[in-house]
């Protein structure tokens, strides 16, 4: 019998494996249930197990040895989007995201199956994302594939049909991949335009840089334009967010150590990032080093410098553009911007500063689109349901949707594709960059 009472408890996993969920984190939950209605998975499933309160309760019961870490716990813990909407409402301040990630770390360390294609996931998270050369090689292959008409040939031969539906759709909406990632094309140092306000080191990311290298370039231009000297540390790696979400904290720590060292070495006052998921992960690096005092303090120093590009632009002051961008636009709050980093107003201020841009509110703009890192690949059904709801919330008559995260961009592009909607999916900073580009010189 897997279930046991406190009196008959056996040594729990907690005592055997690092990264145990922190008692100080789960004991904060007072079980009020105010998180249920904002949880996208609870809204779909109405099952207490699939709510933040239920998950935290299960995590606590496992940590205290009253429940075993089996499928009844692992399924809810992996069905969580890690969107943190619960943290936004929680009056008691429970860090649900950290608890979920730590529990995944335990499941991962114990090599428990979690219903996800483990081998494929391991290939990407362990053997591709951590190595820029391999990552960009995939980018290069994609480019060749797109340019050489292979895409047409594969579609023609129906070979794409052997892929899962969501992957097929993802393939269909992938932007034209640039020849080289921004990490390679951008100069290591770009002087600030006008008076230098500060130096900012650009974090280029992996998904962002393979699929949306032009957004990294736009970020650098916009920063330079607003008085920031931009440096691009060439030793940087993937942030590790996807590994953390999957529970591979060991791999994430290795990536984090190198990033911390590479960025601190630049001496830059700020680290700028344009991907919400990466930004949140970089700001939470200290959480990874709870048992490593040296890197914990380095990580604290590093994380204190991390800013989302919209956050930094508002913090140091940005120049309102005079060039027009004619779009009726709506803004989608990426979970890891609004819930994980409390950034809501800054991107909207940037959008409202652009002449010609009409910004229309989206209902429930803070509800997850289902992208959630690699969630749309690991949990296509739930991701699909949430995507449908998101597309239902897009106001009538908009010509573009802005947001601050590449994962959301890919997911919402799939949503528009499914509905045959002609809507541009853009990063906030791209719109500002466009407006600057259209200024009369």
The contact set with another protein (CB under 8 A) reads: 1-3, 5-6, 27-34, 36-37, 46-49, 53-54, 57-58, 61, 66-68, 70, 72-73, 88-94
What is the smallest separation between the CB atom of 328 and another protein, expressed in angstroms? 21
Compare residues 1 and 440 and give the one whose CB is closer to another protein. Answer: 1
Q: Specify whether the CB–CB gap between 351 and 428 falls below 8 A.
A: yes
Measured from the CB atom, the residue of 27 and 235 that comes closer to another protein is: 27
Contact in structure between 231 and 188 (CB atoms under 8 Å): yes
Min dist CB 45 to another protein, Å, is 9
Least Cα distance to 340 among 246, 241, 218, 427 occurs for 241
Closer by beta carbon to another protein, 44 or else 269? 44
CB-wise, 36 or 252, nearer to another protein?
36
93 or 293, CB closer to another protein? Answer: 93
Q: How far is the CB of 29 from another protein (least distance, A)?
A: 7
Q: How far apart are CB 258 and another protein at their closest, in Å?
A: 34
**Closest CB 364 distance from another protein, rounded Å:** 10
Nearer to another protein, 53 or 413 (CB): 53
Comparison of 86 and 288: residue with beta carbon closer to another protein: 86
Q: Which is nearer to another protein, 248 or 284 (CB)?
A: 284
Minimum CB separation of residue 75 from another protein in Å reads 9
Q: Are strands 228-231 and 198-203 parallel, antiparallel or unpaired?
A: parallel
Q: For the chain, give the longest Cα–Cα distance.
A: 77
User: Contact 170/410 with Cβ under 8 angstroms?
Assistant: yes
**Between 95 and 204, whose beta carbon lies closer to another protein?**
95
Question: By C-beta, is 73 or 403 nearer to another protein?
Answer: 73
- Going by C-alpha positions, the residue among 383, 407, 386, 367 that lies closest to residue 88 is 367
What's the min distance (Å) between Cβ of 65 and another protein? Answer: 12
Give dist(CA 433, CA 416) in Å, integer.
24
41 or 374: CB nearest another protein: 41
């Amino acid at each position: 019998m897997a279930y046991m009472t406190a009196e008959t408890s056996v040594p729990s996993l907690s005592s055997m494996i690092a990264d145990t969920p922190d008692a100080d984190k789960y004991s904060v939950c007072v079980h009020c249930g105010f998180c249920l209605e904002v949880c996208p998975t609870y809204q779909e499933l109405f099952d207490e197990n699939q709510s933040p309160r239920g998950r935290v309760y299960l995590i606590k019961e496992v940590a205290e040895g009253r429940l075993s870490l089996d499928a009844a716990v692992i399924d809810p813990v992996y069905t969580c989007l890690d969107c943190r909407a619960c943290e936004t409402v929680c009056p008691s301040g429970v860090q649900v995201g950290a608890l979920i990630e730590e529990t995944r770390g335990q499941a991962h360390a114990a090599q428990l199956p979690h219903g996800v294609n483990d081998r494929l996931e391991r290939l990407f998270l362990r053997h591709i994302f951590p190595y820029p050369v391999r990552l960009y090689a995939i980018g290069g292959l994609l480019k060749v594939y797109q340019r050489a008409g292979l895409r047409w040939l594969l579609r023609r031969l129906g070979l794409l049909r052997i892929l899962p539906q969501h992957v097929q759709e993802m393939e269909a909406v992938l932007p034209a991949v640039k020849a080289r990632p921004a990490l390679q094309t951008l100069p290591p140092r770009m002087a600030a335009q006008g008076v230098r306000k500060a130096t900012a080191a650009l974090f280029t990311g992996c998904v962002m840089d393979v699929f949306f290298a032009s957004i990294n370039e736009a970020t650098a231009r916009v920063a330079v334009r607003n008085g920031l000297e931009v440096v691009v540390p060439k030793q940087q790696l993937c942030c590790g967010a996807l590994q953390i979400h999957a529970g591979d904290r060991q791999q994430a720590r290795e990536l984090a150590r190198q990033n911390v060292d590479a960025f601190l070495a630049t001496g830059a006052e700020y680290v700028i990032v344009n991907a919400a998921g990466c930004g949140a992960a970089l700001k939470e690096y200290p959480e990874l080093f709870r048992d490593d005092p040296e890197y914990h303090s380095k990580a604290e120093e590093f994380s204190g410098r991390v800013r989302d590009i919209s956050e930094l632009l508002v913090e140091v002051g940005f120049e309102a553009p005079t060039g027009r961008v004619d779009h009726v636009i709506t803004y989608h709050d990426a979970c890891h911007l609004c819930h994980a980093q409390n950034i809501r107003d800054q991107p909207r201020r940037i959008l409202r500063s652009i002449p010609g841009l009409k910004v229309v509110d989206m209902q429930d703009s803070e509800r997850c689109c289902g992208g959630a890192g690699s969630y749309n690949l690991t949990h296509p059904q739930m991701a699909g349901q949430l995507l449908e709801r998101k597309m239902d919330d897009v106001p009538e008559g908009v010509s573009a949707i802005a947001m601050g995260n590449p994962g959301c961009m890919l997911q919402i592009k799939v949503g528009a594709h499914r509905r045959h909607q002609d809507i541009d999916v853009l990063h906030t900073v791209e719109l500002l960059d466009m407006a600057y580009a259209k200024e009369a010189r």
